[in-house]
């Protein structure tokens, strides 16, 4: 077992630039006069995105719309019981992260074990902290079944986790975003559980950032960046000369992971800043004027986006009682008009989101 967690990495010029971008957003964000109502709307959207994308990374089959329905209405989807439990678990764990951040921590092994209990417990309350695994687990390629990574032996996990938590709370000059990224990497490396390691690692990352002044009021979702760059996510986490923890992984240089993580954090922060600035810039009067430029059907479709970022032609067909082809043609017309943007180009599962000029209208609709 390694004596202590001593990560090896280099702050590249790209990483240094991304860190400066993060700090710039952090400074600008504190001066934006964001209303409580706006914060409530954007935070809930971010939480639903985080839940959807973090569980999707692990193979969850629920769409964004279905995730929102499970969380907000308790809707049941036959044959998706496990997926629904995962969504409820992650959302409940996000609630716990927010509570811990509000009280100022601390991060302990028990806190991490409680987060994991929520993740794998389907969101049930009064769960006991989950103990670490008592046997060996192996990560295999889903196609070839070849070993991708063999974590440390179970007997070493308690000691590694103790050292890991001591490292997290240690005070030094390491930039907080880098510390959060390294924590994500090391938790995934120790892999202290049989299941739920990735989700718990992402929650722990969020908690570290929130506790150290990088919460942005809970309005960003790092998980969306991971999910949209999933191949790069796994590739960046795969370091070292061997798949065996004891043969290079523990002492490997993790620079490529830090580059990936910090760039993703910068993108997520800038997305929140841009959204907040649009919300600030567009008052009720401006929103009303923009609404007047829309036809009746466009105004009627706007509420579909209040609980999700994307919809399909099927949603439009149900809303208006149209045949599938008619709904698809209408969506295509709205893309040409600059009202919709295509997010998924597959003809069978084509998805649409509102163009940027109309995104901020959604929170405004809730006030009228």
Supply the pLDDT for residue 100. Answer: 95
Is pLDDT of 30 > 80? Answer: no
Domains and CATH numbers, the chain: 13-279 (1.10.3290.10), 282-365 (1.10.10.10)
Q: Closest by alpha carbon to 188, among 253, 250, 247, 101?
A: 250
Q: pLDDT at position 147, please?
A: 82
Supply the pLDDT for residue 122. 87
The pLDDT of residue 285 is: 40
Q: What is the mean pLDDT of the chain?
A: 86
pLDDT in tens, 292-349: 678 888 888 988 887 788 899 999 999 888 999 999 999 999 999 999 999 877 767 7
Mean pLDDT of 73-88: 91
Residues 226, 176, 43, 363, CA torsion sign: negative
What is the predicted pLDDT for the residue at 365?
Answer: 60
How would you write 277-315 as a 3-class SS string? HHHHHCCHHHHHHHHCCCCHHHHHHHHHHHCCCCEEHHH
For residue range 195-236, what is the model confidence (pLDDT) as tens digits? 999 999 999 999 999 999 999 888 888 998 998 878 888 888
In this prediction, residue 291 has a pLDDT band, given cuts at 50, 70 and 90, of: low
Q: Is the peptide bond before 12 cis (omega within 30 degrees of 0)?
A: no
Rounded percentage of the chain residues whose pLDDT exceeds 70: 90
Residue 21 in this model has a pLDDT that exceeds 90? yes
138-195 confidence digits (pLDDT tens): 888 766 777 888 999 999 999 999 999 999 998 888 999 999 999 999 999 999 999 9
Tokens of 18: 């991304």
Tell which wins on pLDDT, 171 or 134. 134
In this model, does residue 286 exceed pLDDT 60? no
d(Cα 239, Cα 119) in Å, to the nearest integer?
A: 26
Q: Hey, what's the torsion of the CAs at 92, 98, 104, 109, to 10 degrees?
A: 30
> Given a cut of 90, is residue 247 above it in pLDDT?
no
**Other residues' Cβ atoms within 10 Å of the Cβ of residue 43:** 16
State residue 35's pLDDT score: 66
The percent of residues in the chain predicted with pLDDT above 90, rounded, is: 52
Q: Is 17 within 8 Å of 193 (Cβ atoms)?
A: no
Closest CA to 19 of 174, 223, 231, 208: 174
Task: Tell me how far apart the alpha carbons of residues 159 and 137 are, in angstroms, rounded to a whole number.
Answer: 17
pTM of the model: 0.75
The answer to whether 192 and 159 are in contact (CB under 8 A) is: no
**Could you give phi then psi for residue 125, rounded to 5 degrees?**
-90, 175
Neighbours of 191 (CB within 10 A): 22
Q: How far is residue 205's CA from residue 181's CA, in Å, rounded to a whole number?
A: 7
Can you give the pLDDT at residue 290?
64
Residue with token string 């163009």: 355
Burial class (CB in 10 A: 0-12, 13-18, 19+), 60: buried
pLDDT band of 127, cuts 50, 70, 90:
confident
Helices (H), 131-217: 157-168, 176-190, 197-211
**3-class SS at 351?**
strand
Ranked by mean pLDDT, the top range of 61-75, 106-120, 231-245, 285-299 is: 106-120
């Amino acid at each position: 077992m390694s004596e202590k967690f001593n990560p090896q990495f280099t702050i590249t010029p790209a990483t240094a630039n991304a860190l400066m971008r993060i700090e710039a957003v952090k400074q600008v964000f504190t001066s934006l006069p964001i209303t409580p109502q706006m914060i409530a709307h954007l935070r809930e959207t971010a939480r639903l995105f985080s839940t959807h994308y973090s569980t999707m990374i692990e193979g969850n089959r629920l769409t964004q719309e279905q995730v929102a329905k499970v969380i907000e209405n308790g809707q049941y989807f036959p044959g998706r019981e496990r997926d629904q439990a995962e969504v409820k678990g992650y959302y409940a764990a996000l609630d716990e992260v927010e509570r811990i951040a509000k009280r100022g921590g601390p991060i302990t092994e028990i806190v991490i074990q409680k987060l994991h209990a929520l993740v794998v417990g389907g969101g049930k309350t009064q769960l006991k902290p989950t103990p670490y695994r008592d046997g060996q687990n192996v990560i295999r390629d889903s196609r070839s079944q070849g070993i991708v990574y063999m974590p440390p032996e179970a007997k070493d996990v308690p000691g590694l986790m103790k050292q890991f938590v001591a490292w997290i709370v240690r005070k030094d000059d390491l930039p907080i975003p880098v510390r959060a990224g390294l924590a994500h990497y090391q938790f995934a490396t120790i892999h202290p559980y049989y299941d739920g390691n990735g989700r718990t690692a992402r929650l722990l990352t969020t908690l570290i950032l929130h506790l150290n002044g990088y919460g942005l009021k809970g309005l960003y979702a790092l998980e969306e960046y991971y999910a949209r760059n999933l191949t790069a996510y796994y590739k960046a986490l795969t370091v070292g000369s061997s798949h065996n923890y004891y043969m290079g992984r523990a002492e490997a240089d993790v620079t490529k992971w830090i580059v990936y993580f910090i760039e993703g954090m910068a993108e997520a922060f800038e997305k929140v800043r841009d959204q907040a600035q649009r919300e600030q810039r567009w008052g009720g009067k401006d929103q009303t004027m923009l609404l007047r430029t829309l036809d009746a059907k466009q105004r009627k479709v706007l509420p579909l986006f209040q609980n999700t970022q994307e919809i399909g032609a099927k949603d439009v067909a149900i809303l208006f009682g149209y045949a599938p082809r008619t709904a698809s043609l209408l969506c295509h017309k709205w893309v040409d008009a600059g009202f919709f943007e295509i997010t998924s180009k597959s003809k069978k599962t084509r998805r649409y989101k509102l163009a940027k000029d109309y995104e901020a209208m959604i929170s405004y609709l809730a006030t009228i």
